[in-house]
Structure 1
Amino acid sequence: MSPDADECLPKLDLRLTQENPEDLYEHAPCGYCSCLPDGTLVKLNATLLGWLGYAREELVARQALPQLLTVGGRLHFETHGIPLLLLYGQVHELSYSLRRKDGTAMPVLLSAVLVREVDGTPLVVRAMLFDITERRKYEQEMLRAKALAEERGAQLACANAQLIAQNEQLTRTIADLDGFVYTASHDLKQPIDNMMGLFEELKRTATFADPEAAGMLGMFGGAVQQLVGTIEGLAEVVQVQRQLEEVAVETVALQHLAEEVVRSLQPQASELGARFEFDFAAVPTLRMARPGVQSLLYNLLSNALRYAQPGRRPHVRVSTARAGMGTVLTVQDNGRGIDLERHRRHLFQLFRRFHPEVAGSGVGLYLVQRLVHQAGGRVEVDSTVGQGTAFHLHFPG
């Protein structure tokens, strides 16, 4: 080492090199003891005596090392520790509990070496003990945490199994309900059509003396038309669901499909002078069954025309954006708007309508939410009465 390096070292306090070996032994941070081959104690340091609560004369030549241990530890040391000492001459970190004078126990780790005579005869056992009270508390806390985690895991597994069973039951119930709705709407359609034909024939051929008859006939016709709309709405819900089950998910080009939907709405759009604006630059495609995407766009765009603000040219903007790992498809119009404070909870309920003065079935928004949920997404709505509405369809991935 160079002289310059010596100058960098801190000066040592010479008192640190003059430690008393006996003091080091007596007040070490661990317990020391020595005993004869039969276990009789011959020497203990002050640290160990302090742990045990005994005076030195109460133990030296009066008790054996195994007697300092609890019953279980004593049996283990005599049947396992001593044979290892005799065989290998040493043992390391055996976990025991010391039995204090007041009857309490103290967890320790015991390491020991066997010193032999020149001829190999055992002479003395030197043992060193470490207080592991805090370590044992930590281990017990870890065991409790593990047991609690296992219990919570079992509870979670049970809850998950119940949830799976309930979900399967719900899926079967929905399938049965869809089947019932489809059958009911199909079976009712023909009688309703017959009723409408008979009603039209009745208006054409019958005469009524009662001056109120015309009004009553109009009310009856309106009721029948409402019934027809309800049945057609039910049939549409089930039909869209069955189409999605039969068609695979694909990558749908939004620009082309949106233009196709607008062409199907051209008569209404031309009559109102509607203007459509598309911006799919951020996300040009969507992974979903094509009939589902078509139904989403058709229902939202047709609603934008149906609920246009009187005296205002409809302007409908359809766009996409990234949101984290997902996609947001937004359809925004400048129509009548919806009073969300009154109707937010019922916005997507089947057959709920918020502008009675405008003809409609109340099926469109229900279908929109159902299709988005089936794709693993959610729907958010912003709306101001008299200014317009924006539907934000959030899709994962």
Structure 2
Amino acid sequence: MSDDNHELLPGLDLRLTESNLDDLYDLAPCGYCSCLPDGTLVRLNQTLLSWLGYRREELVAQRCLQELFTIGGRLHYETHGAPLLLLQNQVRELSYLLRRKDGSTLPVLMNAVLVRTAEGQPLVIHATLFDITERRKYEQELLRTKTLAEEQREQLARANEQLVSKNEQLTRINADLDSFVYTASHDLKQPIDNMAGLFEELKGAATFHDPEAAHMMTMFEEALRQILSTIQGLTAVVQQQRQLEQMPAEEVALQPFTEEIIRSLQPMHAPHATPFVLDFRAQPTLRMARSSLHSMLYNMLSNALKYAMPGRPPQIRISTELADGMTVLVVQDNGRGIDLTRHSKELFQLFRRFHPDVDGSGMGLYLVNRLVHQVGGHVEVESTVDQGTTFRIYLPR
């Protein structure tokens, strides 16, 4: 490059810099304006003019900065923005709505500085305005989301309150029902016992030669027996519930606990070799109230013996498994089985029996299911008629 070219550079750089500064001012992505201390506009960049839809000559020396705002913004500027500028010489992030020439509005954030003379007198205000349309949409969406979340939270809270109220109501109803059942069964037991006693005296004192009369006596005796069994069953249900509410849960070793129950059932399986196989290696203990666990296992094992398949030695396996974070107590037998296609929905109903030729109260499975649900578990059943049944009792660990 020649020396002559070097001599031209300073002048050329100065012209380019001045041109660039004008371009930067006019084409900046934000609005710039300058105004006198009273707000009279003296300069605006092209960006701000484009936003507003005005020509430069329509605003410069014709309008004030605060006149570009909506009524609420103008009031805020005159009572808050302008006094702060005089006091602090600057303001930051004041939110206003600009009123366009066509009447529409544009949300902006304004930063402004007040320039003073050497004597400290206000000279000119330089303001920078940022279009916050997208930010406002985002804020409004956040607000809508927050409002929706609060409404949903309130709905959930109301639903929870209703659920708590319903649960309390159901608890009271269950308590009232249990109290009624216990009282009724207790009050009925004495008259029924008296009837049974009178019936025994009648059988010993009277002789019935008529076969039909003798048959009616047998039917009456069976009816008395069924009534007594029902009353005893109802009493057992309520007593079990009260024991569950009073007895604390504890860690129970399953092997000795189950062996003790098996010994108490010995009269039921005395004719056969010991039909029980125990395998608690997966989970040797259970945390549960001892009385509840005893009632649950006793009913399961006694049912397995009671409903053994005639002519086939009973085989009963009791074991534990781990599944889905729960302990599974498995009781499997090779007995008569239950037709689940017919009886699955009524399997745990009170007084429901599936083998009428075998003595029973229809209470056992009901009690087991109730005990399991009260500790947060559930029961699954697999059964095949004449082949056997498997109960899987899922209990919290």
Question: What TM-score results when the alignment is normalised by the length of structure 1?
Answer: 0.91
Q: Does 1:180 align with 2:180?
A: yes
Deviations 1:126-185 (A, max 9, x none): 111111112112212222222222222222222222222222222222122112211221
> What residue number does 1:373 align with?
373
> What residue number does 2:222 align with?
222
Letter in 2 for 1:172: R
> What residue number does 2:308 align with?
308
In structure 1, C-alpha distance between the alignment counterparts of 2:54 and 2:384, rounded to whole Å: 85
Letter in 2 for 1:377: G
In structure 2, C-alpha distance between the alignment counterparts of 1:209 and 1:386, rounded to whole Å: 42
- Answer whether contact 1:332 1:391 (CA < 8 A) is retained: yes
Deviations 1:303-362 (A, max 9, x none): 111112223222222222223433222222222222222212111111011122221101
Q: Label 1:387 to 1:51 Cα distance change in 2 as closer, same or farther (>3 A).
A: farther
Letter in 1 for 2:364: G
- Answer whether contact 1:274 1:313 (CA < 8 A) is retained: no
Q: Residue 118 of structure 2: SS of its match in structure 1?
A: coil
In structure 1, C-alpha distance between the alignment counterparts of 2:59 and 2:309, rounded to whole Å: 101
Larger displacement relative to structure 2 (200-209 or 224-233): 200-209
In structure 2, C-alpha distance between the alignment counterparts of 1:396 and 1:108, rounded to whole Å: 59
1:105-120 pair list within 5 angstroms? 105-120=105-120
Larger displacement relative to structure 2 (176-185 or 143-152): 143-152
> What residue number does 1:126 align with?
126
Alpha carbon RMSD of aligned pairs, Å?
A: 1.9
- Answer whether contact 1:34 1:44 (CA < 8 A) is retained: yes
In structure 2, C-alpha distance between the alignment counterparts of 1:40 and 1:239, rounded to whole Å: 91
Deviations 1:12-62 (A, max 9, x none): xxxxx9882222222222111111111111121222112111122211111
Deviations 1:106-138 (A, max 9, x none): 111111112222222222211111111121122
Q: Residue 233 of structure 2: SS of its match in structure 1?
A: helix
Deviation at 1:274, TM superposition (A): 4.9
In structure 1, C-alpha distance between the alignment counterparts of 2:338 and 2:50, rounded to whole Å: 81
Q: Does 1:60 align with 2:30?
A: no
Letter in 1 for 2:216: M
Q: Residue 178 of structure 1: SS of its match in structure 2?
A: helix
In structure 1, C-alpha distance between the alignment counterparts of 2:345 and 2:379, rounded to whole Å: 13
Q: Does 1:258 align with 2:261?
A: no
Q: Residue 234 of structure 1: SS of its match in structure 2?
A: helix
Letter in 2 for 1:221: E
Q: Percent identity?
A: 67
> What residue number does 1:147 align with?
147
Q: Label 1:274 to 1:213 Cα distance change in 2 as closer, same or farther (>3 A).
A: farther
Question: What TM-score results when the alignment is normalised by the length of structure 2?
Answer: 0.91
Deviations 1:68-123 (A, max 9, x none): 11111111111111122122221111111111111121111111112222222222
Q: Does 1:103 align with 2:98?
A: no
In structure 2, C-alpha distance between the alignment counterparts of 1:361 and 1:314, rounded to whole Å: 21
Structure 1: give runs of 5+ residues left out of the alignment. Answer: 1-16
> What residue number does 1:7 align with?
none
> What residue number does 2:276 align with?
276
- Answer whether contact 1:272 1:313 (CA < 8 A) is retained: yes
Letter in 2 for 1:91: V
In structure 2, C-alpha distance between the alignment counterparts of 1:133 and 1:381, rounded to whole Å: 63
Larger displacement relative to structure 2 (317-326 or 45-54): 317-326
1:40-55 pair list within 5 angstroms? 40-55=40-55
Q: Residue 271 of structure 1: SS of its match in structure 2?
A: coil
Deviation at 1:207, TM superposition (A): 2.2
Letter in 2 for 1:307: Y
> What residue number does 1:345 align with?
345
Larger displacement relative to structure 2 (119-128 or 104-113): 119-128
Deviation at 1:241, TM superposition (A): 1.6
Deviations 1:229-280 (A, max 9, x none): 1111101111212222332221111111111111111111232445212222
> What residue number does 1:137 align with?
137
Structure 2: give runs of 5+ residues left out of the alignment. Answer: 1-15
- Answer whether contact 1:30 1:128 (CA < 8 A) is retained: yes
